Structure 1
């Protein structure tokens, strides 16, 4: 009789362990349905400080300091968007979660370039994520980086060094 109870207890424990493993595995499948979906983030960029509504806003999104802020070739995304209203919101979808920096400018004349005077000072408004101080040169990536995870909203205020 004692042997019966011992075998019953061992089989029950084995079945319980297998059942627990199956349950835990099933719950993990429901908790993380698609690994790619976890990395789908959206960045909403509100841009204000326009002197006028002419032209477009051109921006580059960087995931590292390489090429920041002016190398479109090193940007994760780069695009120009016509200005329809101010302030305007530009949305970047399908980003992997991580640190990014945005560099943008108001391309008032629509030539796709940040125009400068003979001294190299920008004649069109420009801005960076985190709105870092711009005194003697462009900011570092680390000064402009923001963590993008899920839905992230930032605000960039345009600057004009010539007043």
Structure 2
């Protein structure tokens, strides 16, 4: 009887600690470091935008929760976004070679500058859906790598 009670108490303690750690993790703020590789040159800048849901992803600037642009000095480029709440995010990146803050396109609508997305989904005829690019921020420091594509 005493052994069964000890096992029950131990099990209760483990379950309680697990529940506390999951709820504590859900309320933290963390950092997301994005390593951007595959740049074809060092001209211009790289801009990365973070979206918290599918609304506006990947190109509606008014739906971006954080955005950073930096001049290209080294390849790969690393950008760190700080103070993000735990959750799902998708990142859209562009190689803004002429620094006009627009992903320039040719007469057929094809991008003339490099671009990429978190999780590096395959790109066919259009940008990926949020779910195809979504990553989970579930710790104090999350790192992802995005490889740019050029047409």
**CA-to-partner distance for each residue in 1:16-75, whole Å, 9 max, x for gaps?**
xxxxxxxxxxxxxxx99xx7x942110010000011011111111000000000001011
- Which ranges of structure 2 fall in alignment gaps of 5 or more residues? 1-19
Tell me the matched-pair count.
130
Q: Is residue 2:90 matched to residue 1:92?
A: no
Matches within 5 A, 1:21-60: 38-60=27-49
Q: Which residue, out of 104, 117, 130, partners 1:115?
A: 104
> Which has more radius of gyration?
1
Structure having greater relative contact order (Cα 8 Å, sep ≥ 6): 2
Q: Which residue, out of 56, 67, 71, partners 1:78?
A: 67
**Any idea what SS the aligned residue of 2:79 has?**
strand
Which runs of 4 or more aligned residues in structure 1 lie more than 4 Å from their structure 2 counterparts after TM superposition? none
Give the conservation status (yes or no) of the 8 Å contact 1:60–1:103: yes
Give the conservation status (yes or no) of the 8 Å contact 1:39–1:97: yes
> TM-score under structure 2 normalisation?
0.81
- Which ranges of structure 1 fall in alignment gaps of 5 or more residues? 1-30
Give the conservation status (yes or no) of the 8 Å contact 1:42–1:149: no
In the aligned structure 2, how far is the partner of 1:96 from the partner of 1:39? 6
Match of 1:158 in 2: 148
In the aligned structure 2, how far is the partner of 1:102 from the partner of 1:56? 16
1:79, distance to aligned residue in structure 2 (A): 2.4
> TM-score under structure 1 normalisation?
0.75
